[in-house]
Amino acid sequence: MDYLYYLRKEKMPHIWCDGCGHGIILKSILRVIDKLGWEKDDIAMVSGIGCSSRTPGYVDFNTLHTTHGRAIAFATGLKIVKPNLHVIVVSGDGDATAIGGNHFIHAARRNIDLTVIIYNNYIYGMTGGQASPTTPIGKKASTAPYGNPDAPFDISRLAQAAGAAYVARSTVYHVGKTDRYIEQAFLKKGFSVVEVMTPCPTSYGRRNKEGNGVEMMMFQKKNSVGVERAQKMSEEELQGKIITGVFVDKEQNNYLQRYDEVIDKAKQINQ
Amino acid sequence: MKKISKITINEKWCKSCEICVQFCPKKVYDMGRFYPVIARPEDCIACKLCEKLCPDFAITVTSPDKAESNKK
Amino acid sequence: MENIPNPNVRMWQGNVACAEGAIAAGCRFFAGYPITPSSEIAEVLALRFPVIGGNFIQMEDEIAAMGAIIGGSLGGAKTMTATSGPGFSLKQENIGFAVMAEVPCVIVNVQRGGPSTGLPTHAAQSDVMQARWGTHGDHPIIVLCPSSVRETYDLTIRAFNLAEKYRMPVILLSDEIIGHLTEKIEIPEPSTIEIIDRKKPTDTPENYLPYKMDDSDIPAMANFGEGYRYHVTGLAHDETGFPTNDPKKIRAQMLRLNRKIQRFRNDIVEVETFNTDDMDVLVISFGSTARSAKRAVINAREKGVKAGLLRLKTIWPFPDKEIEALYKPVRKIVVAEMNLGQIAHEVEWATRREKPVVRVNKIDGEPITPNEIFEAIIS
């Protein structure tokens, strides 16, 4: 396929560091769009603030770069007004689950038909490596110089608990899985989340002596465990592992379908 | 003669992360001084893993059949 | 014949008039979060929108509601949210986005006492400065203040028209008294209501510049999903909509952004005068307090004191020229407002402190009475 067809070529090369996995995720997104044959005019990509949130600037869709954490709120309004648009939200771990955590769980509860791709790199990369809600306990960040005292969120489990219709996790190394999950998420008529683990060698790897992008991807390769296998493993065995796979894939009416029912009831009563 | 994939590297976009060099299952690439070098093109099986994993949109792999017919 | 009821007569609360005004203006998307004393606006639209083809959504917080109406407006709908004090504080972040990205939308603030949780069920007019400068950065804003139920209806429509015309958020600054006041009103025939829609691009998608610098100062706005694939960001941007660090381009866009208000202020600013032709004392007020002020002026006239009233329907941009045209002959100015002098300060500035400005202020949740203003007039 021709990636360049979907890119705003004059904005390239992108700002992401060498070894950063964000570009790999973007490629997965574009491959799936290409496979599904979606028209560029029919796609809106919405983001908040951070490295991941620079994605919309590079793609030739209807693109909206909003305020920190609020992408899902903007996307909700856009989707309601233009239900035929494919609305894709791209977000980081901090953007989606710290400042935007409330919007994230409520969009899942509401089951609004959006796909949120979360680039999880355990850190606020763009601003110099501050701790995020997914930074593991004890790991170093510029705001956790002695090790992070905070416990991390498991974003996929959070989305699952909040009621999302589709939730899956992959890593940038497992590019085939990422493609498959993103495709399933795009086709889901409800709130779908794909969490992709992506290395931040500059702001996280270096500080935590986890090496460059290649070494961090090697870690993903060696330490990922499928969700089925993980169920048979003890908590100790799962320490430091990345559980990948599809956590939720269910059919339930989405917000717009439920609002259609509201319209029917309202019209019956008011006719 | 064996048909060979066509691999191009856009050096303007490449950031020398070496992901292609490391993860190519056939070890087609060596790392050069600044950019990856296509050292063993004849070993390429056109799996396109390097293309998919290149975060910088810098690698294009055209499989041998398509390279010949010079399609898009 | 005289027994046929007038089909346009309504017995409405200010908040209901706001919701109905929004519908009349063409608003079809409302996102909100409940907060006293504004909730009736959301409640009416939750009831009405499903029947008339609109969408109502109750969001998880005020921030989300503000974000949602910006997203909806980019999709092409006329959109509104409504709130009060604490919620208005939360909306400021995304109001700034709407200003920067030039997205039309209407924000209603039914003012209550503050700061903080303050007086949820009592009126105040203390968000005058927050409405002007609540979001960070140099920015233009339009703020309208209704003094009656009918005017709430009219100014809500006007808020949408100005938002669409000038591509920016417009704030309707009501207050608890007006919001919860029920009056018998006659609404205009729908066909007589002026409705303004945003300027659509005439350029081809390839040539479309979402933030084009031209003589109009107001760029045409394409809706998402209609063939114009462009970029919208809260970052400083150039004509293309993409972020830039070029000081020349940033300056040009920022000056244009602010020029929209400076250049068209005569179209935006509306005031009402009452008994101002021969006055000795100029009373300035707005919102619910202007009703007491009018009574005070009438009472003063009855006592032989030549008082006149200037009622501000637009408070931002500030009606400085209108005040300038009136204040020279008067011996003093009385400014009545339910805060500690937010408008009075602007009046002093607009009149260069050439006349004594007597402040009538109240911040305890009680309305300012006609007599309190009367005392200030005759003293």
**Architecture of the domain defined by B6-67:** 2-Layer Sandwich (3.30)
Nearest CB to B55: which of A7, A16, A31? A16
- Closest Cβ–Cβ partner in B19, B49, B58 for A213: B19
With CB atoms and an 8 Å threshold, state whether A62 touches C224: yes
The answer to whether the Cβ–Cβ distance between A42 and C232 falls below 8 Å is no
Q: Do chains A and C touch (3 or more CB pairs under 8 A)?
A: yes
Q: Alpha-carbon distance A209 to B37, whole Å? A: 28
Taking a contact as any Cβ pair under 8 Å apart, which residues of chain A between 13 and 72 contact chain B? 13-14, 16-24, 27-28, 31
Q: DSSP letters along C271-324, please? A: EEEES-TT-SEEEEEETTHHHHHHHHHHHHHHTT--EEEEEESEEES--HHHHH
Contacts with C51 from chain A: Cβ below 8 Å: 263, 266-267, 270
**Distance (Å) of CA A237 to CA A220, C57, C321:** 16, 45, 75
Using one digit for the tens of pLDDT, what is the confidence trace for B4-38?
Answer: 899 999 999 999 999 999 999 999 999 999 999 99
Proportion of chain B in helix, strand, coil states, percent, rounded to 5: 25, 20, 55
Residues whose CB falls within 8 Å of the CB of residue C134, separated by 6 or more in sequence, listed in order: C88, C89, C92, C95, C127
To the nearest whole Å, the CA of B42 is away from the closest chain A CA by 22
Find chains touching chain C: ≥3 CB pairs under 8 Å: A
Give chain C's length: 379
Interatomic CA distance for residues C148 and C317, integer angstroms: 21
Residuewise pLDDT in 10s, chain A (271 residues): 899 999 999 999 999 999 999 999 999 999 999 999 999 999 999 999 999 999 999 999 999 999 999 999 999 999 999 999 999 999 999 999 999 999 999 999 999 999 999 999 999 999 999 999 999 999 999 999 999 999 999 999 999 999 999 999 999 999 999 999 999 999 999 999 999 999 999 999 999 999 999 999 999 999 999 999 999 999 999 999 999 999 999 999 999 999 999 999 999 998 7
State residue A147's pLDDT score. 97
Average pLDDT over residues C12-41: 98
**Chains A and C: how many Cβ contacts under 8 Å?**
139
Do the Cβ atoms of A23 and B23 come within 8 Å? no
CB contact under 8 A, A76 and C68: yes
Helix C247-268 / helix C149-166 crossing angle, nearest 10 deg:
150
Tell me whether chains C and B touch (3+ CB pairs under 8 A).
no
Q: What is the mean pLDDT of chain A?
A: 97
Percent of chain C surpassing pLDDT 90: 98
Domain boundaries, chain A: 10-270
CATH 3.40.50.920 for domain C272-378: yes
Best A9, A65, A89, A105 member to test C by mutation, with max C CBs in 10 Å, is A65
- Model confidence at B71: pLDDT above 50: no
pLDDT tens-digit readout, C249-296: 999 999 999 999 999 999 999 999 999 999 999 999 999 999 999 999
Q: In this predicted structure, what is the pLDDT of residue A222?
A: 97
C26 touches chain A (CB under 8 A): no
Do residue C225 and residue A62 have CB atoms under 8 angstroms apart? yes
Residue A180 has which token pair?
A: 């498959």
Across the interface, of A40, A72, A265, the residue whose CB is closest to C229 is A40
Question: Smallest Cβ distance to C231: which of A63, A82, A267?
Answer: A63
Interface probe, candidates C231, C232, C237, C242, chain A, greatest A C-beta count within 10 A: C231
Structure confidence by residue, pLDDT tens digits, B48-67: 999 999 999 999 999 888 76
Mutual angle of helices C320-327 and C342-350, in 10-degree steps: 60
pLDDT confidence of residue C60 = 98
Superfamily of domain A10-270: Thiamin diphosphate (ThDP)-binding fold, Pyr/PP domains (3.40.50.970)
Is residue C144 scored above 60 in pLDDT? Answer: yes
Among C64, C73, C79, beta carbon nearest to A73: C64
Contact status, residue A121 vs residue A200, Cβ threshold 8 Å: yes
* Residues within 8 A of A (CB atoms), B 28-47 only: none
Percentage above 70 pLDDT, chain C: 99
Shortest Cα distance, chain B CAs vs residue A41, angstroms: 22
pLDDT band at residue C19 using 50, 70 and 90 as cut-offs: very high
User: ipTM score here?
Assistant: 0.97
Tokens 């866009």 belong to C253
Residue C5's pLDDT band (cuts 50, 70, 90): confident
- pLDDT band (50, 70, 90) for residue B3: confident
Q: Does C50 touch chain A (CB under 8 A)?
A: yes
Nearest chain A Cα distance for residue C6, angstroms: 22
CB A148 within 8 A of CB A135: yes
**A10-24 per-position pLDDT tens digit:** 999 999 999 999 999
Q: What's the rounded mean pLDDT across residues C16-32?
A: 98
C55 touches chain A (CB under 8 A): yes
Give the residue range(s) of CATH 3.40.50.920 domains in chain C.
Answer: 272-378
Q: Where in chain C is the domain with CATH 3.40.50.970?
A: 9-192
What's the rounded Cα separation, in Å, for the pair A90 and A48? 8
Nearest CA in chain A to B19: A214
Is A74 in Cβ contact with C70 (below 8 Å)?
yes
User: How are beta strands C78-83 and C27-32 bridged, if at all?
Assistant: parallel
The answer to whether B56 contacts A14, with C-beta atoms less than 8 Å apart, is yes
Q: Please name the residues in contact with B36: beta carbons below 8 A apart, sequence gap of 6 or more.
A: B9, B14, B16, B18, B20, B21, B29, B30
Would you tell me which residues 198-237 of chain A have a C-beta closer than 8 angstroms to some C-beta of chain B?
A: 212-214, 217-218
Per CATH, the number for C9-192 is 3.40.50.970
Which of B12, B49, B55 lies at the smallest CB-CB distance from A21?
B55
- Report CB contact under 8 Å: A46, C31: no
- pTM here is 0.97
